[in-house]
Amino acid sequence: MSKKARISVCCEKVGSNKINPYIFGNFVEDIRDHMDAMLAYVLKDMDFEEEDYNRDGVSDGWYPITNGKNTVFALEPAAPLHSGHSQRIRLISADDCYGGIAQRVSVKGNMEYRIKIYARATEEISQIKLEVVDIHGLESLGSTVVPVDSHQWKEYTASIFITRECNNAEFRITISGNGRQWFEHMTKGNLWIDHVSMLPADSVGNVKKEVIDMARDLNCGMMRLGGNEISCYH
């Protein structure tokens, strides 16, 4: 085209209209796996939604641990108003042992972690042990015991103070016979778990403190919660 146009900008006069702030700035979206990105939850598969692909009786986000010979693990229907499955751990009366489930985690040092667990148990089981250990040296980094007092579904809360940072840690949920044996042949100690979550005390709501700090510095104009991950935000 042969025609040219000239545009003049008059900087001395400011108009009354404002530019929409969403035209400029940055955009934040949680597009990775929600446990590894923006949310501060340490654990994955918190509602035991994975199937038992390994055929070990445990939701595939977890793995079984026991020093007994006959501990039984099984996925069962979820509790009312819950999704996924419930995880069942059964101690046979002849075994004086512990049994439970575990998951690899990364934890901060000098930090309190707040834990919620939705569970029920038969009367033989009076407590649940929650523990974080260094998977290499098997050093305990923090633990607590949660009394279980109901055969009905109930939410229990606890906290664990982690002594030092560890990127190769293991979170364990275990029950034991506490040195007792139940001599009635058909009697068994059973624990069912339908939800377990673990959040560091420095999280902002359910979001990582580091993400909040970086997003604030970014001064983003818009934040989008990914539609496929929206169920995790509760």
Give percent of the chain with pLDDT exceeding 90.
57
Query: And the tokens for 44?
Result: 């994955």
Helix (H), strand (E), coil (C) string for the chain: CCCCCCCCCCCCCCCCCCCCHHHCCCEEECCCCCCCCCECCCCCCCCCCCCCCCCCCCCCCCEEEECCCCCEEEEEECCCCCCCEEEEEEEECCCCCEEEEEEEEEECCCEEEEEEEEEEECCCCCEEEEEEEECCCCCEEEEEEEECCCCCCEEEEEEEEECCCEEEEEEEEEEECCCCCCCCCCCEEEEEEEEEEEEECCCECCECHHHHHHHHHHCCCEEECCHHHHHHHC
pLDDT band at 83 (very low <50, low <70, confident <90, very high): confident
For residue 184, pLDDT beyond 60: no
Q: Does the structure show a pLDDT above 70 at 123?
A: yes
Considering only residues 231 and 12, tell me which one the structure prediction assigns the higher pLDDT: 12
- Is the CB of residue 198 less than 8 Å from the CB of residue 212? no
144: confidence class by pLDDT, cuts 50, 70, 90: very high
Residue found under tokens 């934890």: 107
Which has the higher per-residue pLDDT, 142 or 217? 142
The pLDDT value recorded for residue 1 is: 63
Residue 17: pLDDT over 90: no
Determine the CATH number of domain 42-205.
2.60.120.260
pLDDT for the residue numbered 35: 46
Every domain of the chain and the residues it spans = 26-39+208-234, 42-205
User: Distance (Å, rounded) from C-alpha 5 to C-alpha 60?
Assistant: 66
* Res 79: pLDDT: 94
In this prediction, residue 75 carries a pLDDT of 97
At 227 the pLDDT is 57
Asked if pLDDT for residue 196 goes beyond 50, the answer is yes
pLDDT tops 60 at residue 137: yes
Which has more pLDDT, 90 or 33?
A: 90
